Each structure stands twice: as C-alpha cells, then as structure tokens.
Amino acid sequence: MDLDGFKKINDIYGHEIGDSLLLKTSKRLQSCFRENDFIARLGGDEFTAVINHKPHDSIAEDLTKRIESEFMQPFIIKDLEIQCTISVGKANYPSDAAYSDELLKIADEAMYKNKKLKYQINQQN
C-alpha cells in the first residue's frame, strides 16, 4: 500500500504535517484490519500487511474495498483538511509466489499498476 501524492503533501505542508499524516495513516489502516493481521510500514509512505485467509474467500477483496473507502475521507491535521488516497496491490501465497520477497515484488507491481490507473483516470477528468 502506498499513499497517493504524499511527496506533494510533504512539499506543500512540510515534514511535520507529513509525519502526522503517516501516523494517522497507520491508525486508519489498523482500523481496517482484523486483530490477527500483521501491518507494517516498509519505509516512506509504503505499508504492507499479511493476512491469513482461505484461497477462495473474499477477505482480501473486501479488505481492499474497505481500505480504499476509508482513504476517501480526508485527514484533519492542525486544522487542515488533507485528501490523500491510497493505492493497494495484492499477492497470494502460494498461488502467486512461494517466497516473501517474490510476494512483495508482485504486490508492489500490482500497487503501482493501480496507482498509474488512478493517475490516468484523474488526468482524463
């Protein structure tokens, strides 16, 4: 998962607001996941999660929709209303890959594909 336009927010409002946004992002993400799911910040504005689910259930899809919906709501930081969406990519073990580094790479590629698609849609509007 990666915040859309985070660098621009950091450039406009400064690092203090950017850091607050990252903290609020982690809290918002935690509210989307189940208690036994693992969520971590990889660095910058990139986060990852490991969820345990059966191959044919809809947990991953439902979770993606919930996350994207939560990030449609603006963040309120120091009386500023900041709109910051998130791009999500997924990879499934073992159907997509058997090793964690491969899973991260596949999820990362899917995330950037989604980010690019959002950018293209926004450019058309």
Dump pLDDT digits (tens) for 2-13: 999 999 999 999
Q: Is 48 in a helix, a strand, or coil?
A: strand
Burial zone of 43 (CB within 10 Å; 0-12 exposed, 13-18 middle, 19+ buried): exposed
Q: Outline where 4-73 has alpha helix (H).
A: 6-13, 15-32, 59-70
Cross-strand pairs, 87: 2
pTM of the model: 0.89
CB 72 within 8 A of CB 3: no
Domain ranges in the chain are 2-124
Residue 94 preceded by cis peptide, ω within 30: yes
Phi, psi (rounded to 5 degrees) for 36: -90, 5
Q: Fill in the amino acid letter for 114.
A: N
* pLDDT tens, the chain, 125 aa long: 999 999 999 999 999 999 999 999 999 999 999 999 999 999 999 999 999 987 678 898 999 999 999 999 999 999 999 999 999 999 999 999 999 999 999 999 999 999 998 877 777 76
Class of domain 2-124: alpha beta
